Amino acid sequence: MRPTALITGASRGLGSAIARELAAGHNLLLGARKEDALKEILTEIEDAKPFPADLTDHAAVAEAVKGIDRLDVLVHNAGVADLGTVADTPAEVWRNTMEANVIAVAELTRLLLPALRKAGGHVVLINSGAGLRANAGWGPYAASKFALRAFGDALRLEEPKIRVTSIHPGRIATDMQRAIVEGEGGTFDADQFLSPETVARAVHAAIDTAPDGHPTEIVLRPTAR
């Protein structure tokens, strides 16, 4: 029986790259807020199924997971990156960032724990270099990623039959990164960043680690060019 993987934020960027990377060996559930956003990737991966839900709407998420009684892989890729200095960032941005990047992850994981336990599953958290070091102007995002790392550490200890891997990539050449660079006043150059495919292969390698190994953290940085 082919393993089943649920990937959040799968409509574009890193999420769709992870979907392509895992497609050959997994039955895929691909997450996005709206099913329409998944049209392109679902056309490309014909046997994949949509998992449409606003992950910050906990009632909707509880409804969406009904019927998932076994899950081998859960990849938490969805998230937001609202940047700004502490002086210029209001409470709403902090709250929304934590809601999307931490609380939504915790709740979806909690709801799917019975299915993950049944499969002896694997939770992959797409974190960030910002989850290891906070830089000026990145306070809310870094705080959420530090919290996400703590969540993964706690989950790993509480659920010894489930593997939990935190992936900490440097900047990735995605549309989100383009917006960040332009917001910083820079010029986007994809060659200066990790490709989504490189990070997706790291996710696949973690999942394919032999059962006697537990890949707890993977840190990736762009190669100096």
Which residues form the catalytic set? 141
- Helix (H, G, I), strand (E, B), or coil: what is residue 138? strand
Cα-flanking dihedrals φ and ψ of residue 49, to 5°?
-120, 145
- 33-71 exposure pattern, b = at least 16 Cβ within 10 A, e = fewer: beeebbeebbeebeebebbbbbbbebeebeebbeebeeb
Structure tokens at 34: 């709206």
- By the 10 Å C-beta count (0-12 exposed, 13-18 middle, 19+ buried), 116 is classed as buried
| Alpha-carbon span 66 to 215, nearest angstrom | 29
| Alpha-carbon span 104 to 106, nearest angstrom | 5
